[in-house]
Structure 1
């Protein structure tokens, strides 16, 4: 920051130099615009001076009369008599000639920096009168070589130029430069013509020919043009490609050529100007020349004429391409495409793995459901003898009552009231058998998951009835302490009954060694918290081996001689799938409690 402040203060204290740019043509000439911008930019970068710029575009081609010149001189006298101009920059011979006639009167003693399009256009008088000279250097021969190389069948070259003094001077340079090509191609010079005649001429040229455009500031009728506007008109009408000697023609209609940069010409002019302002004597600032070292082509024009980009000379610059995201952002697009492809592959792999995982989970669930069904069947099988007894008793009673009814009906005067009572007994025993079979079928039925909202207490009572009716233990007492105000739960009814049924069967087995009067089981339901219900099965058996507590819910772990060890493992899986948990604990006085929890349905009872 300190350096910036010091630099700003030094620049503010620098002396101010007044620069007059005396341009003889229109202010909107493309080459002059680029030259002027580069010149000012380079001078303003200097820390030695501050600059005031004055620009006069004299428009001498359109107003060449003596009266206009006298008026112009009078205006400049009034404008600059008290300005003390430090340096005059004079582009082109028209400005040089104007200063040769009027500099002593208008700007006595002011140094002049002469600028021209080509070194060969500077005459001895200009060199003598000027403090320094900066020029370009056209490469007409190189451009012609380029054109003939790209169009090897060309036999004729049509050189087009205007009728102004500037046009004639540059055309003379071109004509002298092309003398060495007369044995290779035939030259035709279209100059000193009106624009209408020029356009008619270029519209019907032979197939194996090209146009070499020089400049066109004015036609034979005195009509003024900007050279880039004229080349655009000629190119649009021409039946053959157009090449030119100026950078400003490329983009206006010329195919291309070897040219020099007006920007660099402006920078070299600033270099010479600073040398003059620093007090160097006349002649001490040597002549500066900007060579034509750029080969530039217009993309649209070489596409128009079927020129392949691969045939262009090495190092060529191609301008005015149609915007192509691929050309402008090729590496970014490749990078993004690579990332997208990689992401697609990763996502595809993840989707494939997810699909396989879901298939595996579905298969595991199916296997678990089948195993749960097998476990239910096995559990029912453990009670098969008791269930057979439970069914056999009412069937025996039905048979006895049916036989008794037959005997009553065989008598001469059957007692209808007695027979009616017998039939009522048969119906009651049949209902008893049907209820036992219904409960068994509900547990044995193989079905897919079916979630529904139901009363948990009712499901618990059904399991209690089934176990009570089928338990093989004498003296077994099953007591229920159920909370009648429980909210409904949403679950698979059969699976939850399987869990409770398995816990109750395990409790029966745990009490098999206990005395008959001590075989007691307690089933409770309660709210564990506002969102969870808890179902517990407590027995008075031998309890849980403390060394094996952690293995209770492992698959294939069992304390039964004939058990599979899958009941508790499957029960835990079922409870977890319903969003609950399962556990067990011992009682100091003996026995154990197994429990599971379930989330409630918050909407309330149906």
Structure 2
């Protein structure tokens, strides 16, 4: 009882704390004078929202003589709360008195909070590094991307001018429609390039999903095609439809 390794107190079913060791008094922030005055009551230490839990514990105690240990909180003398692990038992089945064992969980709770904070910082750092890596990659691909964008944009301009000519003084609607279709095609291609760039540089967690490897290869070649031509590199593809 006096080892003071964990908090220990004796109690009765009327709610009184009849005795306690120094460790328990330190946990709840009371002095021995408070205990000796008879003003300490175990029910007053529990937060109001724990009333249903108290009733369940007392029912279990009366039925079995002991309560399954549980995590809860005590309201200290200064009004703050301390997280605790509590176990209690009656001295015997006919007794109205019992003993309780209390472990202060403050250190464990702080350690868990630090672990969560460390994990949060780790994920933020990982996300930032991934973003930097993507932006760096964009820098390396800048020339190729510029080439990939200039082609469809130039195509849009040329096709639009052609459509205007076909819709001139002697309109040729079928040819104009073909030119406008090319505008749509090249505009869509440019939009796809922009979309891929936006996805690459966006600061967001990497998503895991099933990909068509052939589609990935085609997109990669699309982005690097201009640089390959500039460097005199010939690319040959042999795609496997089963992948």
Point out which structure has higher relative CO (alpha carbons under 8 A, 6+ apart): 2
Larger Rg: 1
Q: Which has the higher helix share?
A: 2
The TM-score, its normalising length taken from structure 1, stands at 0.22
